[in-house]
Amino acid sequence: MNAEQILLAQEAAVLSTISDFLYSYWLIYVLVGAGLFFTIATKGVQVRHFGRMWKAIVAREEAAGGISSFQAFATGMASRVGIGNIVGVAIALTLGGPGAIFWMWVVAFLGMATGFVEATLAQVFKVRNADGSYRGGPAYYIKTGLKQRWLAIVFAVVLTFTYGFAFNMVAANTISDTLNTNHGVPQWVTAIALMLLGAPLLLRGIRPIARFSARYMPIIAGLYVLIALGIVLFNVGQLPEILGLIFRSAFGLDEAVVGFGAGILAAMLNGTKRGLFSNEAGMGSAPNMAATATVSHPVKQGLIQSVGVFIDTMIVCSATAFMILSSGAYDLSNIGDSSVGAALTNAAIVTSLGDWASWLTSFIVFAFAFTTIFGNYSYAEVNLNYLGVHGRGIIAFRLLVILGVGLGSILALATVWDVADVVMALMATVNLISITLLFGWFRGTLKDYEGRVGTERINERFVGQGNPLLPGDVPGDVWAEGAKDHQAEVAAVTAPGDQSGR
């Protein structure tokens, strides 16, 4: 090992140590604590409004000239449903054992309430662009709601780096690792190909990305879930045993798992890390896209974003975990092997379907990770706009993002993931503290919405000024009484007699 390799190894060790410290002694408690607070304070909003969440997804709200509620949801899902569901689950199983999946579920259940809160606040404090569309997110509600401009700037800078570079490098790394492992494609070839393929869409901006995500993301995710569920159903007799293994391992009760080094702490640590990376609830990322939607009431987008957390972890991540554990590809002796990524998921599919399926796995990994890059970029651009970067500055940033994708393709897997984990922890910390301090605004907005459910007022536009349920007046003219969207007033299409709250 030469001097350069030794230095890189030392830097990787430092990153890993920082990451483990942040999650072991801080973020686990903050993340779970905030989720518990929001769940209890809202009387289980993710349970009480679970049915209405699904109805909100299929409801149509016209947003001529802007981004529709579903497009915002789909773009958010392009970032949520991706490599975290394939590689993240595999890493959680290899570093934390089967019990990590249980803690992913816990993080997701509590995260549904957290995601509801942050997306609703993003809508409350969003601002209008010159063309009638909207932008918003944590930087905006930190500045306007908390009146802490310096903290908003810090958050915007961290998010821009995290989603413009760190997470996109993870996505690119996953693609190059999969193609290299499965088909021997050199990583530099993948790097060049990704830059050439991604540049045309990235250089066009957020709206084309939103349309692209709304069109293709549901198809890609649906295909993957069908494959995973098919493999699980083929091995359905193993489900009781798998569920038992997950629950025992989650609390350090399975001697075999513990013997290979995956005790309760390892399960909690890796389940929390990979759960947060996958569903992003509380991280402050999804609100950036939630704010762009044209809706008549902030809670409507909160409903949609909350169900996104459920789909990501409870459905897609669970499907991956069950598929791996039922296929025979999972080996307890590999616990602790940080080099395992998409290879484990690929092995599960190939073991069940045959060698030909490695091409299918490669396509799915490519599609998930490739669309994730665009969803990630959308978040970064919103925060660049907040920082006052426009025009040529945006073009320059897009070019740097494309170069970052190329660089991520050739870096070591563990290093890329450790960088992502550290910056993700910083983002989540600032955002969780902020939305907790702003909870009064969310509570008032939710009461306003719940007072309309079952009445003819359900589709009336929310008024944020002079509203006695709120702590004060919402700044700006977006939610002023009588305000209309510049391009077209939101028109909720509700079936006759339907008072479901769509």
Tens of pLDDT, residues 340-377: 656 788 888 888 888 888 888 888 888 878 878 877 88
Q: What is the pLDDT of residue 24?
A: 66
Q: What is the pLDDT of residue 496?
A: 39
pLDDT at 485 over 60: no
Q: What percent of the chain has pLDDT over 70?
A: 78
Measuring CA to CA, which residue among 298, 292, 218 is closest to residue 58? 218
Of residues 490 and 118, the one with the higher pLDDT is 118
- Residue 337 pLDDT class (50, 70, 90 cuts): low
Q: What is the pLDDT of residue 498?
A: 40
- Residue 492 pLDDT class (50, 70, 90 cuts): very low
Tens of pLDDT, residues 130-153: 877 788 999 999 999 999 999 999
- Residue 494 pLDDT class (50, 70, 90 cuts): very low
Tens of pLDDT, residues 469-483: 999 999 988 998 766
Residue 9 belongs to a domain: no
| Domain of residue 349, CATH code | 1.20.1740
Q: What is the pLDDT of residue 139?
A: 93
Residue 93 belongs to a domain: yes
Total structural domains in the chain?
Answer: 1
- Residue 60 pLDDT class (50, 70, 90 cuts): low
Mean pLDDT of 154-179: 88
Determine the Cα–Cα distance for residues 378 and 397; give it in Å rounded to an integer: 12
Residue-number span of the structural domain to which 74 is assigned: 15-493
Determine the Cα–Cα distance for residues 96 and 206; give it in Å rounded to an integer: 37
Of residues 442 and 10, the one with the higher pLDDT is 442
pLDDT at 463 over 70: yes
Residue 5 belongs to a domain: no
pLDDT at 69 over 70: no
Residue 498 belongs to a domain: no
Mean pLDDT of 236-262: 76
**Pairing status of strand 60-62 against strand 134-135:** unpaired
Q: What is the pLDDT of residue 208?
A: 66
Residue 436 belongs to a domain: yes
Tens of pLDDT, residues 96-110: 888 889 999 998 999
Tens of pLDDT, residues 379-397: 888 888 889 888 889 889 9
CB atoms within 10 A of CB 478: 19
Tens of pLDDT, residues 108-128: 999 999 999 999 999 999 998
Q: Which helix (H) or strand (E) holds 134?
A: strand 134-135
- Residue 79 pLDDT class (50, 70, 90 cuts): low
Mean pLDDT of 45-59: 84
For residues 111 and 258, the answer to whether their CB atoms sit within 8 Å is no
Task: Determine the 3-state secondary structure of 28 from DSSP.
Answer: helix
pLDDT at 65 over 60: no
Alpha helices in 81-166 (DSSP H): 83, 89-96, 99-124, 138-144, 149-161
Q: What is the pTM of this model?
A: 0.81
Residue 6 belongs to a domain: no
Q: What percent of the chain has pLDDT over 90?
A: 25
Mean pLDDT score across all residues of the chain: 80
For residues 400 and 164, the answer to whether their CB atoms sit within 8 Å is yes
Q: What is the pLDDT of residue 304?
A: 86
Residue 340 belongs to a domain: yes
Measuring CA to CA, which residue among 162, 169, 170 is closest to residue 426? 162
Which amino acid is residue 215, in one-letter code? R
**DSSP letters of 86-99?**
IIIHHHHHHHH-TH
Residue 502 belongs to a domain: no
> How many helices and strands in the chain, by DSSP H and E?
24, 4
Distance linking the first and last C-alpha atoms of the chain:
61
